Chains A and B, each alone.
Chain A
Amino acid sequence: MSTSPAAATLGSRPASLLRRVLLQGRYETVTMLRNGEQLILAVILPLLALVGLTVTPLLDGLGSSRVNIAVPGILALCAMSTAFTGQGIATGFDRRYGVLRFLSTTPLGRTGLILGKVLAVLAVLVLQVLVVAAVALPLGWRPSLPGLLPGLLLLVLGAAAFTALGLLVAGTVRPEATLAITNLLWILLGALGGIVLPAERLPAAAQAVVHFLPSGALGQALRDAFLHGSVNLAAAFVLLLWTALAGLAATRWFKWN
């Protein structure tokens, strides 16, 4: 005589892993897109940088046109915004509020939670690429066609490296510290890390280092792909190494509570 037939029998089976990850990815994507600060970081600032680089002579002499040199760096900046700073801050506060612990007790689990975050980063990245392309093409952006596919794959690899780094920071320090560290690194790496400004435009001391930074490696790899249609294997290797090292470190030291 139950009025809630659903509660009359106990025990449910989990939805499939694919469905759980897709649901979590969608949920985290919507949460990211609803966050105003996140949107400024993910879309507005990269677009401002793009316009800034095309109206100033900062990149003159490095390639066919200002916008062609600028766009690969802007896409790399987008990956850092979303995967490292945005996702790192969100994860840090989710950890503070016990959201990670609660969700890891549901069928989603820890693996599903991480996969959902990766999916959300990729979804937002796709939107960023579309927005940047929509602004850059009228400005005269003409990427190398053979370089498009390798460039996009390298962008995903860069996002993977920055996601692992963001999770490492978010999982090991307090959320306020995550906020400070990821924002500060976004500014430092954005300005001096070889992302939007190629190594040639940086001080000599920085030039030696930037090729080994995830920012410099991603910026250079994307410029080589989108400008010249070539795959920079050294930069790809640096990105792989960062992904592996940060991923291992995050797996080892990530604190869920």
Chain B
Amino acid sequence: MRSPESPALTIRGLIKDVGPLPSLDGKMLRVVSGLSLTAERGQVTALLGANGAGKTTTIECAQGLQKRTGGTISLLGADPDTAGAELRARVGVMLQDGGLPPSARPVPLLRHIAGMYQDPWPVDDLIARLGIDAFSRTSVRRLSGGQKQRLALAAALVGRPEVLFLDEPSAGLDPQSRQLVFELIGELRDRGMGIVLTTHLMDDAQRLADYVYIIDAGRNVAEGTVAQLLRHELTEDTAGQHIRTLLFEAEPGLDLAGVLPDAVDVRETRAGSYSATGPLTPADLSAVAAWWAARGIMPASMSLAARSLEDVFLDISGRETR
């Protein structure tokens, strides 16, 4: 039974314990605790989080590769734990480690996987689309990281899936491959594919995702479109003022006291590198430039930036390194 109206993926209250672990005196470790999310068809949904946040565990539970401890998962309206070949044919998976046999050659491997479907994406078309013809005679073990990722993506797409899982899709991609892969992802999204990706790269999420879940310590701590996540942080404390960060490099030891309003946090982050973050106005920028002019300072570099998803992410999930 097809159920085109059901979302691509719905997860409610997912719990996953692993272990028992000797490092915890034989106790279980809860790697996902009560995570919920919905991924729609025709959208790219990103799970954004640091390494170890529980992103891969979450999508592996959704793919049926790991058995969940608790909660419910509906993948195209079915439970992945009890699903059969019919459901697996409608779902494409690109694993973080690729999962391709090292001795295989790309084209025979893709043809083999295509044989598992009644009506696959024509392999020749897929090969051309992902530039696989350039390395079609090289065994998987000799491929570069980017080539491996493109082949793994082709293997995930060969069944023309309705839902596509991508675990850290830009890992190892050179800039050209990244452009190619990101364009294809956008095109497939526009054709109605529901795409779920995990990433620890803010830039991936910012460029690709229609909707972002920020995952930390096994739960979702924030969600929204990229714009919503940024705006939320902008308006929360400062009543519509524009939070910006001004960065510049000049001689070390300058004292900027009194140049900018008190609400702006000014600091010398390294010797000669200055940052000023807060509700900056055009007048403030003018005052800084005038201050430079009065002292004959010509900065080696200067830049102005709005808050990035990275700032939001770090604010929410804490700045300490794990």
Is A64 an interface residue when CB atoms closer than 8 A count as contact? no
Measured CA separation A112–B113 after assembly (Å) = 13
Measured CA separation A31–B103 after assembly (Å) = 8
Are B116 and A106 in contact (CB-based, < 8 A)?
yes
Is A102 an interface residue when CB atoms closer than 8 A count as contact? yes
Measured CA separation A101–B122 after assembly (Å) = 24
Are B119 and A12 in contact (CB-based, < 8 A)?
yes
Measured CA separation A256–B97 after assembly (Å) = 14
A12 / chain B contacts, CB cutoff of 8 Å:
89-90, 117-120, 159-161
Measured CA separation A106–B64 after assembly (Å) = 11
Q: Count A/B pairs, Cβ under 8 Å.
A: 121
Q: Is the contact region of chain B dominated by helix, strand, or loop, or is it mixed?
A: loop
> What is the chain A residue whose CB lies nearest that of B120?
A12
**What distance in Å separates the Cβ of B14 from its nearest Cβ neighbour in chain A?**
18
The contact of B93 among A10, A27, A102, by CB within 8 Å, is A102
Is A253 an interface residue when CB atoms closer than 8 A count as contact? no
Are B115 and A19 in contact (CB-based, < 8 A)?
yes
* Of listed B86, B97, B157, residue having the most chain A CB within 10 A: B97
> What is the chain A residue whose CB lies nearest that of B112?
A27
B89 / chain A contacts, CB cutoff of 8 Å:
11-14, 107
> What is the chain A residue whose CB lies nearest that of B64?
A105
Are A17 and B99 in contact (CB-based, < 8 A)?
no
A17 / chain B contacts, CB cutoff of 8 Å:
85
Are A15 and B117 in contact (CB-based, < 8 A)?
yes
Is A205 an interface residue when CB atoms closer than 8 A count as contact? no
Q: List B279-295 residues whose CB lies under 8 Å from chain A.
A: none
Is B299 an interface residue when CB atoms closer than 8 A count as contact? no
Is B220 an interface residue when CB atoms closer than 8 A count as contact? no
Is B215 an interface residue when CB atoms closer than 8 A count as contact? no
The contact of A13 among B63, B118, B122, B192, by CB within 8 Å, is B118
Are B118 and A14 in contact (CB-based, < 8 A)?
yes
Q: List 10 A-B contacts (CB under 8 A).
A: A6-B121, A10-B191, A11-B2, A12-B120, A13-B117, A98-B98, A98-B99, A102-B100, A107-B85, A107-B116
- A: residues with CB less than 8 A from B are 4, 6-15, 17, 19-20, 23, 27, 31, 34-35, 93-94, 97-99, 101-109, 112, 256-257
